Structures are given as C-alpha cells and as structure tokens.
C-alpha cells in the first residue's frame, strides 16, 4: 500500500530543527570563534609558520562544502528579504535580552559570540524553511526543474 504522508513535513519536528541548528553551530564555530580554537586560527597559524599542508586544505574543503550547502539552502529559501528580516528580528531579540539584563555584551568577544550564534540560527532557519513554511501555510515549495 502506498504511503500518503507528505515527505516535506513528515518527520519535521522541533528536534529536527534543533539538529539543524547544532549542525549550523558546528559549522560556524568550527570555522571561526573568538576562543582561538577554530579552523581560521589553526590554518592561519600554519600559514604563518610555513607549515600549511594537505590536512589544512582538506579542512578548508570540508568547511567550504558545508558553507555552500547551508548558504545556498538559506538563500534559496529566504531570499535577501528573508535573511534581512531574520537578522532584524534576531537583532531586536538580542537587544531586548540585553536591555532586560538577561544577556551581557560588554566585550568584543561577547558580541562576536552573539553574532556567530545568530548567523547559525539564520542558517538553521534557512535549511528548515521549506518544512516550517509548509507547516504554517500548507503550501509546498518546489524548485523549477528543467526537463
């Protein structure tokens, strides 16, 4: 018997969004973070020490592939306006949390962490948007396919 469930929404839950968010956080924070432990720091240190090798290039390739997947999915799903709106909403939320004293951002490092987490949230929303939009509106997004 055929399965009549819609593949675009079946299985999409809060947990599946959380997994996408974790993947986006890993990508963003592995690429760069202010702690000094990131691919950026490791690779730039290797370049300064004239020790750049194939493992460094492999890491660059893997991170670049991850960025391409997340960025293209986000841009296709949200477009320029959606990315800007997500940024404005997250910015306003951060501002509110700082005003309420829940979050503190007195240092450049703190602001950098906040910006990186916001970037990961936008990427996670982007890769999840088709599922979220389908749940909210009942409309299915389909990419044009050349026959």
| pLDDT per residue rounded down to tens, the chain (147 residues) | 445 555 544 578 999 999 999 999 999 999 999 999 999 999 999 999 999 999 999 999 999 999 999 999 999 999 999 999 999 999 999 999 999 999 999 999 999 999 999 999 999 999 999 888 777 777 765 654 444
Chain centroid, CA 137 distance in Å: 23
Main-chain phi, psi angles of 129, to 5 degrees: -60, -40
Separation between Cα atoms, residue 31 and residue 18, nearest integer Å: 20
47: left (phi over 0), alpha (psi -120 to 50) or beta: alpha
Q: What is the DSSP letter of 11?
A: T
Reported pTM: 0.83
Q: Name the residue among 29, 41, 9, 59 with its Cα closest to residue 123.
A: 29
């Amino acid at each position: 018997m055929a399965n009549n469930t819609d593949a675009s929404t079946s299985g999409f839950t809060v947990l599946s969004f959380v997994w996408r968010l974790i993947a986006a956080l890993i990508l963003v924070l592995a690429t760069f973070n202010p702690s000094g432990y990131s691919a950026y720091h490791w690779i730039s240190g290797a370049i300064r020490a004239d020790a750049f090798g194939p493992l460094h290039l492999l890491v660059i390739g893997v991170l670049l592939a991850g960025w391409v997947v997340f960025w293209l999915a986000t841009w296709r799903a949200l477009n320029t306006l959606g990315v800007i709106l997500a940024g404005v909403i997250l910015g306003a939320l951060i501002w509110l949390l700082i005003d309420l004293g829940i979050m503190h951002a007195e240092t450049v490092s703190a602001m950098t962490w906040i910006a990186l987490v916001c970037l990961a949230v936008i990427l996670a929303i982007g890769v999840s948007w088709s599922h979220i939009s389908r749940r909210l509106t009942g409309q299915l997004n389909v990419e044009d396919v050349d026959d």
